Chains A and B, each alone.
Chain A
Amino acid sequence: DTGVSQDPRHKITKRGQNVTFRCDPISEHNRLYWYRQTLGQGPEFLTYFQNEAQLEKSRLLSDRFSAERPKGSFSTLEIQRTEQGDSAMYLCASSLGLAGVLGDTQYFGPGTRLTVL
């Protein structure tokens, strides 16, 4: 069990550029979640997948954001035409997706810190 991994760990980009982040969940975890965390705040839910199906998207996820999990394994989060307000830590988490608190516990990756200049 290697834990949830995210790549890159840090990304600096200029306003208007597109960026893509990758998340590799714990193997055999069916659910994958994306959260955004701004400095000094708790994480906020963005979207989640059950296997390859994207089941819910937050209102925070504007049209410039898109997430995929094509084969039910890793996931990508793309932000198009980045804005300074997109600067944040993007966290990925995964869970087994089974009934019960053990199956529903989410384990987090180290995050990707995005800075938009």
Chain B
Amino acid sequence: AQTVTQSQPEMSVQEAETVTLSCTYDTSESDYYLFWYKQPPSRQMILVIRQEAYKQQNATENRFSVNFQKAAKSFSLKISDSQLGDAAMYFCAYTPKAAGNKLTFGGGTRVLVKP
């Protein structure tokens, strides 16, 4: 069974600084997708960024970028120039292409942004 592990329950960052969230996963599949979702308090889950496993290039979306290390099964998220609105729970998620795309989520990392 696939598992996703987020080892940092909580991370704190100063406004305008950079924070990196870690995610590791376990799979025997070679082709899959990885996602980071953001869940603000009492609000719905929002897609932050996505990565296709067969693409070597790391995905970027504005201030958000990933470091995808396929051999190490690692998928970290970097938030640059942190803003107060970035405060939320961040979930790493995995899906193999052949499984109907059901997502397996990690336990989440809470990001606190200090003004």
Contacts and interface: CB of A to CB of B under 8 A. Distances in A.
Nearest to B59: A101
Interface string B34-76: 0101000001111100111000000000000000000000000
Contacts of B106: 42
Contacts of B91: 42-43
Given A55-B100, A101-B52, A42 B47 contact: no
For chain A, give the interface size range. Answer: 20 to 34
Contact of A91 (B45, B46, B95): B45
Interface string A44-59: 1100101000011000
A42 B107 contact: yes
B105 A42 contact: yes
Contacts of B105: 42-44
A42 B100 CA distance: 19
Contacts of B104: 45
Nearest to A47: B102
Nearest to B53: A101
Interface stretch (A15-23, A65-73, A75-83, A102-110): A102-110
A6 to B, nearest CB: 9
Contact of A45 (B33, B47, B97, B103): B103
B5 to A, nearest CB: 11
A45 B102 contact: yes
Contacts of A33: 102-103
Contacts of B45: 43, 91, 108
Interface string B82-100: 0000000001010101001
Contacts of B93: 42
B101 A41 contact: no
Nearest to B102: A45
Given A43-B105, A104-B97, A110 B44 contact: yes
A27 B43 CA distance: 21
A9 to B, nearest CB: 10
Contacts of A87: none
Interface of B: 4, 33, 35, 37, 43-47, 50-52, 91, 93, 95, 97, 100-108
